[in-house]
């Protein structure tokens, strides 16, 4: 969903989770000259055809093969220097608006989140943001919202296990909820007992993880590399 708070939550998770990074679907738009145009003259940005999904998958696969090198090549730090390969945890946060509609990417996920907000809130936020190129008159009601409804219906028909998040909740509430799920998924993957009350961020250094946000999340253990 556009303007639902995906990027904010993704960045908050990255700041809290050691050895994590973000791959954002918005950075894989094709050149504007090749984006399809509908019968009303609106650019079809809210379609998979407007995105270079092969390139996005290439980035995800690079991370999967060697997350430590992936971070290093992008100037990002890790916190695993004293740990064995089997103990390291890396988290990839994949954020986007059509990540659950692209099966090859969707199939990699273990945890999936979808941020939703009401029509009126979404429209207000959209109108307050500056886009390049700018939205033409009538673009939200004539294209953005109808495509959201269409893409959501398609997503729900092909994807299960999505956790729907209320985008009107506070940033702190949303972060706490998703962060707790991620830590529990790490524990499950590692076969460890729960840490008990409260989570110590510096005890979070033990497996590689991928977090996707339309939100979606998929952990991957180091033993998979």
Residue 141 is among the residues annotated as catalytic for this protein: no
CA 23 to the chain's CA centroid: 7
Rounded distance, CA 103 to CA 98, Å? 10
Catalytic hit among 26, 32, 38, 166? 26
CA 138 to the chain's CA centroid: 28
Rounded distance, CA 65 to CA 82, Å? 21
Tokens 């009401």 map to which residue?
A: 118
Q: Is 206 exposed, middle or buried (0-12, 13-18, 19+ CB in 10 A)?
A: buried
Cβ neighbours of residue 111 under 8 Å, at least 6 residues apart?
163, 181, 182, 185, 211, 212, 216, 217, 218, 219
Rounded distance, CA 98 to CA 85, Å? 33
Q: Where are the alpha helices (DSSP H) in the chain?
A: 6-16, 53-65, 67-73, 103-106, 119-128, 139, 145-158, 171-190
Phi-psi region of 83 (alpha: psi -120 to 50; beta: other; left: phi over 0): beta
Residues annotated catalytic, as ranges: 26
């Amino acid at each position: 969903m556009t303007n639902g708070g995906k990027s904010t939550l993704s960045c908050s998770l990255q700041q809290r989770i050691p050895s994590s990074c973000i791959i954002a679907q918005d950075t894989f738009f094709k050149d504007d000259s090749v984006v399809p145009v509908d019968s009303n003259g609106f650019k079809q940005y809210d379609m998979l055809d407007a995105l270079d999904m092969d390139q996005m998958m290439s980035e995800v696969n690079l991370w999967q093969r060697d997350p430590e090198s992936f971070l290093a090549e992008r100037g990002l730090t890790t916190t695993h220097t004293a740990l064995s390969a089997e103990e390291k945890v890396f988290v990839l946060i994949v954020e986007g608006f059509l990540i659950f509609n692209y099966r090859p990417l969707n199939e990699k996920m273990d945890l999936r989140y979808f941020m939703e907000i009401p029509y009126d809130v979404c429209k207000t936020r959209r109108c307050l943001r500056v886009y390049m190129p700018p939205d033409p008159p009538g673009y939200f009601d004539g294209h953005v919202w109808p495509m959201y409804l269409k893409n959501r219906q398609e997503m729900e028909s092909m994807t299960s296990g999505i956790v729907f998040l209320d985008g009107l909740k506070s940033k702190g509430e949303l972060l706490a909820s998703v962060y707790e799920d991620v830590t529990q998924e790490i524990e499950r993957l590692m076969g460890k007992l729960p840490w008990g009350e409260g989570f110590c961020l510096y005890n979070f250094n033990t497996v590689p993880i991928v977090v996707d946000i339309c939100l979606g999340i998929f952990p991957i253990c180091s033993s998979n590399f």
